[in-house]
Amino acid sequence: MKLFLIFIITSFSYISAAVIGQIEEKKGNIKVKTLNSIVKKKVAKGYKLQEGDIVTSYNDSYAKIVLIDHSTIILDKESILQFASATNLKQKSGRVFYKITSKKVKNSFQVKTDFAIIGIKGTTFIIKVTNDKEVLLKEGVVEIDSIKKEFELYRKKIKSQFEDFKSKQKEEFKTYKDEYSQYQKSMTKTFDLQKQHKISFDKNRVKEDDFNKKDKQEFKYFEKLIDEI
């Protein structure tokens, strides 16, 4: 009898330890494929997420996920997010909003995509794995790591550099239409993205820009979703 109770307690502790968060709110059709399953099942509000779970949101569906460290993740419609663990995620498609609040996960929280690995240092950001492959950072810092070869990174030249460039190339500049003319090129495997900046990916070519009005609206959209779902 004692051995049986020990087995039950041990099993319960193992299951509890595997819980990494829950679907706190949802709207529409949200499905989860567990680690040992070959099918997706429709889940309800309050579903406990475990390691290996793949969460899928469908058309006009949204999910608010709260991790055990109280970080918040919002899946937009038609998004797929895999939880390898509480601090290692793989975003397969769609738009996902992340608000990482725990200081304990700094330098350990990662989101992997098919174009880069994003290392989190306590921050608020959006990753888009759609026709546009982008990372938009509102607060904090994220580290961008290449999965394969070096990035061809284009960062905006400071104004004085750009003005100097224009004066030296005055005649040619009139007909020079390369969109990267305002950017300083470098080759790197890893770089940090600072707040109020975004990066867009075209294979190994990466372009960094300041936020524009549309980018700010992206965050307002998700912040409104947090209150609505």
Residue 4 to residue 10: CA distance in whole angstroms: 10
From the list 97, 62, 101, the residue with the least C-alpha distance to 78 is 62
Q: pLDDT, tens digit, for every residue of 156-171?
A: 876 555 555 555 665 5
Q: Residue written as tokens 């980018």?
A: 215
Residue 115's alpha-carbon distances to 10, 108, 119, 183, in angstroms, are 40, 19, 13, 21
Q: What is the pTM of this model?
A: 0.83
Q: Read off the pLDDT of residues 170-185 as tens digits, 9 standing for 90 and up.
A: 555 554 556 677 899 9
CATH fold of the domain at 20-146+189-228: Jelly Rolls (2.60.120)
Q: Along the chain (229 residues), what's the average pLDDT of each consecutive run of 10 residues?
A: 48 58 97 94 97 96 94 97 94 97 71 95 92 96 94 82 58 56 92 96 94 96 88
Domain residue spans in the chain? 20-146+189-228, 151-188
CB atoms within 10 A of CB 183: 17
